[in-house]
Amino acid sequence: MNIAKMIDHSLLRPELTTDDIRHGCEIATRRQVASVCVRPSDVGLAKAAVAGTGVLVGTVAGFPHGDTCTTIKAAETRELIETGADEIDMVLHIGRLRSDDTAYVHDDIAAVVAAAQGRVVKVILENAYLTDEQKVTGCRLAEQAGAHFVKTSTGFAPGGATLADIQLMRATVSAHIEVKAAGGVRSLDTLLTLHQAGATRFGATATEAILDDLAGRERGERPGAAAAASEDAY
């Protein structure tokens, strides 16, 4: 089990400078994580920084609230793919899901999937604002619309990934649809617990602390508290 290749190293906070982005890309490549997930305007910078390393460049569409028009989400996605993005994490329209406007939610996701031209699309439900029934509906609509992942959270809402939500999402979608946990994945123990429940990808800013803890355990050291003390994950 390659833990590093389950991590999307997150660089989405609004205050990050271009030097912060370059440093984050260096962490991602040195640690050989699955991807670095950057703000849309940073895709070109990140693509150059990780070129030839095997680390993917992910970015976001309709982030963080999901309420931009479908045409804008699709146009944003097309531009990001042209700039070099390998994966798109989109936020579904939370208010329309809560309104039971399932046709709108489905078509909104489907438009981004089409614009992504075969690249991986992860659909963020933002579970903190949803009932369990709405989470199930959102997962099913994401699958029907052709998405590759369902994802718990942006990290910018009141709550993040929970064990109960991962279990619910994994039980809702088909086996070929993966589940991404994001928001609060600050320690190796949290990651392992959520992985056991069915998550296969994790959004995190605490990447180095998590992987340092893993390396220490592999050397037989007592699990440390470094990851738990790290800054928030998205």
The per-residue pLDDT for range 95-144, each reduced to its tens digit, is 999 999 999 999 999 999 999 999 999 999 999 999 999 999 999 999 99
CA angle 168, 111, 100 (to 5 degrees): 50
Contact 128, 159 (CB under 8 A): yes
Q: 8, 135, 180, 213: which is the annotated catalytic residue? A: 180
Residue type for position 51:
A
Is residue 180 among the annotated active site residues? Answer: yes
- Give CA–CA dist 207/86, Å, rounded: 20
| Own/partner long-range contacts of 93-96 (Cβ < 8 Å, ≥24 apart) | 93/62, 93/66, 93/67, 94/65, 94/66, 94/67, 94/125, 94/126, 94/129, 94/130, 95/67
Is residue 89 among the annotated active site residues? Answer: yes
Q: Does domain 4-218 have CATH number 3.20.20.70?
A: yes
> Treating both helix axes as pointing N-terminal to C-terminal, what angle do 207-218 and 18-31 enclose, rounded to 10 degrees?
20
Low-confidence spans in the chain with pLDDT less than 70: 224-234
For residue 40, is the peptide bond before it cis, meaning its omega torsion is within 30 degrees of 0?
no
Contact 130, 162 (CB under 8 A): no
Q: 86, 89, 108, 165: which is the annotated catalytic residue? A: 89
Give the model's pLDDT for residue 224: 62
Q: 8, 42, 151, 165: which is the annotated catalytic residue? A: 151
Give the model's pLDDT for residue 233: 37
Give the model's pLDDT for residue 222: 78
Is residue 73 among the annotated active site residues? Answer: no
